[in-house]
Amino acid sequence: MNAFVRVNGSRVLAVAALLAAGAALAQTPPASPAASGGPQPPMNDFYQAFYNCDGGAAFNLNYDSDQPTKVEMTANDGSKPVDLKRTPSPSGVAFAAGTAKFWTDGKTVQVEGAKSAFKNCRMKGK
């Protein structure tokens, strides 16, 4: 099939081809935050991050890759590990599951819904 059609002596790209290309682009799912090249959480070479907080509270994060979509959070308060999934965030990087949430911009950390209060947390080794 010829992609061009003659109209009044000019070559014009067939409208059907443009519509088909537009429809294909509209059906392409948006990239996940991890795959889009957006910010990534700080971690060591083993996809882990350790945080020490005020009052002796601490937690460990085990990411699924260097561009994570999931993380397992384990705290030193005796609670069970929690699996969190990456969620969209207007800034920084966020993971959540139910009421448990973890957010960081690489400098500041916020943890919500945990058994312990995690305040003024700092990444170990930083």
Residue 16's SS3 state is helix
- Which has more confidence, 85 or 17? 85
> Does residue 100 register a pLDDT over 70?
yes
Rounded distance between C-alpha atoms, residue 98 and residue 119, angstroms: 20
CA angle 50, 59, 95 (to 5 degrees): 90
> Does residue 5 register a pLDDT over 50?
no
* Sequence-distant (≥ 6) Cβ neighbours of residue 13 within 8 angstroms: 3, 4
Tokens 């690489």 belong to 106
CATH number of 48-123: 2.40.128
pTM over 0.75: no
pLDDT of 24: 44
Q: How confident is the model at residue 2 (pLDDT cuts 50, 70, 90)?
A: very low
Query: What value does the mean pLDDT take over residues 42-64?
Result: 95
Could you tell me what percent of the chain has a pLDDT over 90?
58
Q: How confident is the model at residue 122 (pLDDT cuts 50, 70, 90)?
A: very high
Residue 86's SS3 state is strand
Query: How high does pLDDT run on average in the chain?
Result: 79
| Beta strands, E only, 14-108 | 48-52, 58-63, 70-75, 82-87, 93-97, 100-104
